[in-house]
Homo-oligomer: A and B are copies of this chain.
Amino acid sequence: MTKRGVLAIISGFSGAGKGTIVGELVRKYDYAISISATTRNPREGEEEGVNYFFKSREAFEKMIDEDALIEYAQYLGNYYGTPKEYVMRQLDAGRDVLLEIEMQGALKVKERFPETTLIFITPPDVSELRRRLEGRGTETPEVIGRRIARAKEECAYMQKYDYIVVNDQLEDCVEQMHALLQSLHYAGYNQLDLIHEITAGFQDI
């Protein structure tokens, strides 16, 4: 029997380096990343089934009705969501799957699928976080204000995450994330088959 993969959601402050870390995990260690469905139009170079599954509004709403999405949200008039089937197929095949989702969505997924692990990535300290939020001096005060307001809000979600990982040096952080993700295979809720098998085995002794 193939051991089922683990499902982890990666969230974090703007500028924490989530995307880069997830990219490195996929490149170095062959994690699967979930591919989102969206109703927005493909941009130049984006490929169906690689960057997104592109859907009509009707098709997307049919997926909602059929409970075919792990989570979804609307943003600027378009739907974005995570198709369930693709993720489940990867997990069943024994691959570990990473979802990069913002925090409110992440908590909703955890509610529905408690075996999901929530990982929050943060810069090492407030001054570094502030620097990243304020950008490189090229942002308008309005944009900076919005980023800070958002990060302030996001702070409240940190304590609901299973793990908080600091991204100070990228390479270190990628290795820490890999060790953490592999350790999830030993988590009790991912070892139920083993527990059942051993318990059942005692009936015959």
Residues in chain A within 8 A of chain B (CB atoms): 119, 122, 125-127, 129-130, 133, 148, 151-152, 155-156, 158-166, 176, 179-180, 182-183, 186-188, 191-192, 194-195, 197-202, 204-205
Contacts and interface: CB of A to CB of B under 8 A. Distances in A.
A119 to B, nearest CB: 8
A39 B192 CA distance: 39
A195 B164 contact: yes
**In the assembly, how many copies of this chain are there?**
2
Instruction: Name A's interface SS.
Output: helix
A195 B159 contact: yes
B165 A198 contact: no
Contact of A159 (B179, B183, B188): B188
Contact of A163 (B126, B186, B199): B186
A198 B148 contact: no
Contact of A151 (B125, B159, B176, B202): B202
A62 B74 CA distance: 63
Nearest to A123: B198
Contacts of A195: 155, 158-159, 164
Given A148-B202, A155-B195, 14 more contacts: A125-B197, A126-B201, A133-B205, A155-B199, A158-B199, A162-B188, A163-B183, A163-B186, A163-B188, A164-B188, A164-B195, A176-B183, A179-B183, A183-B183
